[in-house]
Amino acid sequence: MNLPDRYKLPTGKAFKCKKLLYGLKESAFGWHKKISGWLLEHGVENLGTDGVTFRKETTRPDGTVSKLLHTRHVDDAIVATNDNAYYQKCMDELGTSFELSASGKLTLFLE
């Protein structure tokens, strides 16, 4: 990272970033910690298979079970569910803490 010309860095000194910058290798890990912590705080459990796949199940008053699966790669996520209303509720809740953009329904997934 280069400093603006108006700053002179003394020899043997370094600047410390106070927040993660997009594009640095540390930013992906910082984002993983932030989103994973949020999911766990909101009752979404980590499957423990790869560290980035989470699930949440809830039983509705009629006895049916709504399921949500959330997996991601860096800052992209796939969210799958068997209940559109439950999906929307979860996404609205997630949207209160993070800026979201949806690309629509998944049409192709390569494993």
Domains of the chain: 25-95 (3.30.310)
The band of 64, judged by pLDDT with boundaries at 50, 70 and 90, is: very high
Query: Stretch 84-93: mean pLDDT, rounded?
Result: 90
**pTM confidence score:** 0.70
The answer on pLDDT for 1 being more than 70 is no
Longest dimension (CA), the chain: 69
DSSP H helix total and E strand total for the chain = 2, 4
Supply the mean pLDDT for the chain.
Answer: 85
Q: Is the confidence at residue 111, as pLDDT, over 70?
A: no
